[in-house]
Amino acid sequence: MQSETIELSNGKLSKNMIKKYKDDGFLFPINIFNYKEALNLRTDLEKIEQKYSKIKLPKPLNDYKRGPANAVIPLVADIAKDNRILDIVECIIGSNILVWAAEFFIKEKKTDNIVGMHQDLTYWGMGETSGQVTAWLALSDSNKNSGCMEFVKGSHKNKILPHNETYSKKSLLSRGQEVQVRIPNNKKISAELLPGQMSIHHGLMIHGSGPNISNDRRIGVAIRYINPDVVQNTKRSYAMPVRGIDKKGNFTHYFAPETLFSEFNLKLHEEICENQHKVTSTTKN
């Protein structure tokens, strides 16, 4: 059964809902796009997938759908800049907002890809900041059958916990990372979403997702928002400003691409990825 939709007032979260996010570490389902808009976004993505199954890019298409996809795919940057999402994000991290990365998390129908239970901030070199929040937007049904995200209520109140790097082929995460504590199934809350709905979660939230046993793809866009106070421990960090101003200058700014996979943006994507790989994880296992 779907959870009750989060009520918005003028597109913003109420004080009670902000408190709930602070207490629980997540909120869902939040209505963002209507069904038709979500379907159009999915169709646009699938047209790109079809076109670039025949056209060669420097790296496989899947690599560009992950990491900072917003640096090379205008569709992703447009989603990340959408005011309806930013109005929610502003309630959590304030009115000056940057996108650190926006990426697709896709599970093909009837596949056993999973995401092990983990905390995002473990590998991002941003410490234990509350100035980061992820908005996860569904472009298809995301439910228990299709492998929706699962959250552990209140787990963001932990520090960064030790993780194992399993490098499992089934994992959608680059190193198959998994928190070392075993999470009983009855502690996992399924974030079921309809197309166009969104969840938000704190960077320290323990979360993951199971396989897709449904007959459809499970398509999500995860957008990593930060405020300008966030500092990343790399030589050079990149982010796309989307609202307000950045007086801190902790991130090199880049802007939404005008065209799909332009030479300039492909190079930028490579540069951002290279620098992100240099991040030292915050905890040692």
Ligand X SMILES: O=C(O)CCC(=O)C(=O)O
Helices of type H across the chain: 15-24, 35-51, 61-65, 74-81, 83-93, 263-277
Q: In Å, how far are 21, 44, 86 from 139, measured between CA atoms?
A: 23, 11, 18
Q: Report DSSP letters for 108-130, one per residue.
A: -TTB--BEEEE-GGGGTSSTT-S
Nearer to ligand X (CB atom), residue 171 or residue 261: 171
Nearer to ligand X (CB atom), residue 81 or residue 224: 224
Q: Quick one: which of 31, 55, 51, 53 has its CA closest to 43?
A: 51
For 219, the token pair is: 């398509």
- d(Cα 58, Cα 37) in Å, to the nearest integer? 31
Nearer to ligand X (CB atom), residue 100 or residue 261: 100
Burial readout 93-127 (b: 16 or more C-beta within 10 A, e: otherwise) = beebbbbbbbbbbbbeeeeebbbbbbbbbbbbbbe
Q: Which residues pair with 220 in a beta bridge?
A: 105, 138
Minimum distance from residue 136 beta carbon to ligand X (Å): 5
Nearer to ligand X (CB atom), residue 121 or residue 273: 121
Coil, strand, or helix at residue 76?
helix
Minimum distance from residue 26 beta carbon to ligand X (Å): 11
Query: For residue 176, what is the DSSP state?
Result: -
User: Interface residues with ligand X (CB under 6 A)?
Assistant: 105, 115, 120, 134, 136, 149, 207, 209, 220, 222
